C-alpha cells in the first residue's frame, strides 16, 4: 500500500472519529424523540375493569308488559321487500330471545314502498308493535351539490377494482344514510335509543334484561358485540378527513382515540412524510382500521344528533367520500365514538350471542346461572350448551368453547381503555398488523 493511500485512510478514520460522537447523539436523540411520541398514545391501564357485563347469568324474564319503566327506544331494521325471508328470520330470532318479554316497537325502513306480503309476514313474526316507514328520497340519493355522473363513474370503477360492495350504488346510499341523518327522520324523532337489527342475523343466547335500561343506568351511549378490521380499500382518506376535523376543533386525544391509532415509529421531521399514505393523519400516525361492527349497535340517538357529530358528518359529506370512495357507516360511527365519547360510555355486550354472515360471538353459559326452574325461559328452550367456568351467557345454544370465529385483536384494542387485564399478544400484534 502506497504512502498516499495510507495517509488518505488515516484522514478518513480521523474524520469518522470526529463525526462519531455527533452521530451517536443524533441516534439517541431520535430514539428519545420516538419514545416520547409513541408514549403520547399510551393507553393507561385502569385499576379495575370499567366495562363488565350488566349481568353474568340468566335473570327471570319480566311480565309482559314490564312492571318497571322502560326506556324510550325502538328496534330498527333497514330492509327491502325481497329480503322478506331474511328479515323474518332475524325478527323471529330477537322475538324468541328478547322481545317476547319486552315488547319494544320495531321500525322497518325501506327506500321503496312496502309490499303487503312483507308487512303481513313480518307482523306475524313478532308480538311487538311495528311500523313500516319509507326513507325520504333526499336521504337516499346523491347530495344535491355532487356531480352524479362523476360519482357513478367512481362507483363503477370501485366495483371493477373488486372493492367490497363498492360497485353497488344503493350500498353507498345506505352507508351515507346510516352515517348521516337516519336518526333525524320523522319515524325516529320520538325515540332516544335504538337497536339496529339487520336481516338474516341470529341471536343464540337469551337476553333476559333490558339493554336500554342498563345502558341508561350506567350512562353508556354506544354498545357493540363484534369488532373487526375495516377493509383498507374502502376508505383510504376517511381517517385523514376525520383527524383533520378533530384537529380543527381542538379536540384532545381521548384514550379511546389512542386505542384506535398506531403511533408512527418514524422520527421527526420525517414522520410527517408518512401523512402522504392512506389511513394516516397529518402527523403520520396510522389508524389501525379497528371498528365496531355496526350491523349490531345499541346507541343513544342523542349522541348522533349532537352538534359535534352533526358538524363532523357535514365535514365528511362535503368531502364526497361516501361516493368517490366507499366510506362505511361502521367506520364513521367508530371514529366518531372514539373521538367524542369517554371510554366508560362504550359497552361491549359480551353476554349476547350474535351472528351476522359468518362472523359470530358466542358467550359460554354461566355455571349455575341458567335458572332451570324458570317457566318463562323453559317455554323458549329446555336445553342449552354446556356451562363453562367464567361464562356470562344465558341459555346459549352455541358452543362457548369457541367464543368467536374471528381475530380478537380489534376487540382487545378497542376495549383496552376499560380493561385492567390485557392480553400481551395485542401489543405484539400491533407490530405485525
Task: Give the Cα separation of 413 and 427 in Å (integer).
Answer: 9
- pLDDT tens for each residue of 296-353: 999 999 999 999 999 999 999 999 999 999 999 999 999 999 999 999 999 999 999 9
Beta-carbon count within 10 A of 228 CB: 17
For residues 69 and 30, the answer to whether their CB atoms sit within 8 Å is no
Cβ-based neighbours of 348, under 8 Å, separated by 6 or more: 51, 223, 224, 225, 411, 415
Question: How confident is the model at residue 29, as a pLDDT?
Answer: 77
Residue 61 to residues 31, 64, 103, 124, 368, Cα–Cα distance (Å)? 58, 9, 12, 22, 17
Q: In terms of C-beta distances under 8 Å and separation of at least 24 residues, what long-range contacts does 63-69 make, across chains too?
A: 64/100, 64/101, 64/102, 64/103, 65/103, 66/101, 66/102, 66/210, 68/213
DSSP per-residue string spanning 85-105: HHHHHHHHHHIIIIIHHH---
Phi, psi of 332 (to 5 degrees): -65, -50
231 included as an active-site residue = no
Block residue for cell numbers 357493540: 224
- Of the residues 71, 95, 214, 297, only one is catalytic, namely 297
Cβ-based neighbours of 427, under 8 Å, separated by 6 or more: none
For residues 178 and 294, the answer to whether their CB atoms sit within 8 Å is yes
pLDDT lower than 70: segments of the chain: 1-19, 68-69, 424-433
For residues 303 and 218, the answer to whether their CB atoms sit within 8 Å is no
Measure the CA angle with vertex 43, ends 39 and 47; round to 5°. Answer: 125
Question: How confident is the model at residue 218, as a pLDDT?
Answer: 97
Question: How confident is the model at residue 4, as a pLDDT?
Answer: 60
Amino acid at each position: 500500500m502506497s504512502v498516499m493511500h495510507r495517509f488518505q485512510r488515516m484522514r478518513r478514520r480521523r474524520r469518522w472519529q470526529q463525526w462519531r460522537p455527533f452521530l451517536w447523539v443524533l441516534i439517541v436523540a431520535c430514539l428519545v424523540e420516538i419514545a416520547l411520541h409513541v408514549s403520547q398514545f399510551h393507553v393507561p391501564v385502569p385499576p379495575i375493569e370499567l366495562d363488565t357485563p350488566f349481568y353474568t347469568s340468566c335473570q327471570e324474564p319480566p311480565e309482559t308488559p314490564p312492571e318497571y319503566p322502560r326506556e324510550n327506544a325502538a328496534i330498527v331494521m333497514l330492509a327491502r321487500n325481497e329480503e322478506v325471508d331474511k328479515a323474518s328470520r332475524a325478527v323471529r330470532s330477537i322475538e324468541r330471545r328478547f322481545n317476547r318479554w319486552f315488547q319494544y316497537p320495531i321500525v322497518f325502513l325501506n327506500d321503496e314502498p312496502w309490499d303487503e306480503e312483507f308487512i303481513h309476514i313480518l307482523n306475524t313474526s313478532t308480538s311487538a308493535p311495528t311500523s313500516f316507514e319509507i326513507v325520504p328520497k333526499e336521504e337516499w340519493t346523491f347530495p344535491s351539490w355532487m356531480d352524479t355522473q362523476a360519482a357513478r363513474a367512481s362507483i363503477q370503477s370501485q366495483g371493477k377494482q373488486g372493492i367490497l360492495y363498492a360497485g353497488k350504488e344503493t350500498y353507498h346510499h345506505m352507508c351515507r344514510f346510516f352515517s348521516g341523518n337516519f336518526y333525524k327522520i320523522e319515524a325516529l324523532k320520538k325515540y332516544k335509543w335504538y337497536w339496529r337489527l339487520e336481516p338474516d342475523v341470529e341471536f343464540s343466547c337469551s337476553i333476559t334484561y333490558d339493554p336500554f335500561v342498563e345502558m341508561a343506568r350506567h350512562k353508556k351511549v354506544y354498545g357493540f358485540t363484534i369488532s373487526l378490521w375495516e377493509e383498507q380499500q374502502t376508505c383510504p382518506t376517511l381517517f385523514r378527513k376525520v383527524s383533520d376535523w378533530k384537529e380543527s376543533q381542538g379536540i384532545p386525544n381521548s384514550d379511546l382515540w389512542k386505542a384506535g391509532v398506531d403511533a408512527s415509529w418514524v422520527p421527526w421531521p420525517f414522520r410527517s412524510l408518512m401523512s402522504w399514505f392512506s389511513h394516516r393523519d397529518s402527523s403520520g400516525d396510522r389508524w389501525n382500521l379497528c371498528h365496531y361492527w355496526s350491523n349490531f349497535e345499541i346507541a343513544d340517538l342523542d349522541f348522533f344528533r349532537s352538534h359535534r357529530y352533526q358538524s363532523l358528518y357535514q365535514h365528511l359529506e362535503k368531502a364526497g367520500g361516501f361516493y368517490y370512495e366507499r366510506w362505511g357507516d361502521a367506520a364513521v360511527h367508530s371514529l366518531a365514538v372514539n373521538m367524542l365519547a369517554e371510554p366508560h360510555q362504550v359497552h361491549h355486550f359480551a353476554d349476547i350471542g350474535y351472528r351476522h354472515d359468518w362472523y359470530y360471538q358466542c358467550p359460554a353459559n354461566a355455571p349455575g346461572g341458567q335458572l332451570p326452574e324458570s317457566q318463562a325461559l323453559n317455554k323458549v328452550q329446555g336445553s342449552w350448551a354446556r356451562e363453562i367456568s367464567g361464562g356470562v351467557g344465558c341459555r346459549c345454544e352455541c358452543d362457548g368453547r369457541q367464543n368467536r370465529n374471528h381475530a380478537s385483536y380489534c376487540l382487545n384494542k378497542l376495549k383496552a381503555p376499560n380493561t385492567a387485564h390485557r392480553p400481551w399478544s395485542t401489543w405484539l400484534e400491533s407490530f405485525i398488523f
